[in-house]
Amino acid sequence: MKIKILVFLIACFTLFGGAKNDVAAPTFTLMNQDSEMIDLASFKGKKVILEWTNHDCPFVKRHYDTDNMQDLQREYTGNDVIWLSIISSAKGKQGYVTKSEAKELTINRNAQPSHVLFDSNGDVGKLYDAKTTPHMFIIDEVGMLRYQGAIDNLGSTGALFSTDLSKAKNYVRDAMKSLFLGEDVTEKNTRPYGCSVKY
């Protein structure tokens, strides 16, 4: 009987797992590019943006090659927001990098995350049910998850592969604007698009 209950609970977690909006964001601790252990809970009192990333993914490349991602990073880290770029690619899979390679990528792309975090066993990615790169999550100052999904609306338009991002509706910017104004985020959950996370 106990085994049946355990199997049922596991099945429920699989079906309904992942981070939920408007409740406390799952906490985690991961190593960064400087071999420091970074604890999400230590950023309470600050807004936090999580970016699941894979430098070899064409959709990620588009955002970095056009400086779209870097512009967002500069805009928000310059306003006391913590930006965590998370790599959940397993060793041997597309997007896996070492700490030194991550540092080189950050410099070469002029990226501005607060930290690059390594999740090669995929535990944190699966905790959040991160599906694609990019996949974005926004956490407010009290640790509540307020947005999750795509970076913009191009995944639901005919411009999925366009390199012109100027007319895209940026969901991250819209959500952050609402949070800075003390308003509720209206679009809290959108369908992410990009390359699958390489667990």
Which domains are assigned to the chain? Answer: 18-196 (3.40.30.10)
Question: What is the spatial distance between Cα 84 and Cα 77, in angstroms, rounded to a whole number?
Answer: 10
Centroid of chain to Cα 160: 19
Helix axes 171-180, 68-77, angle to 10 degrees: 10
Beta-carbon count within 10 A of 42 CB: 12
- Looking at residue 6, its pLDDT comes to 30
Confidence of residue 162 (pLDDT cuts 50, 70, 90): low
Question: What is the spatial distance between Cα 20 and Cα 138, in angstroms, rounded to a whole number?
Answer: 11
pLDDT in tens, 58-71: 999 999 999 999 99
pLDDT in tens, 51-107: 999 999 999 999 999 999 999 999 999 999 999 999 999 999 999 999 999 999 999
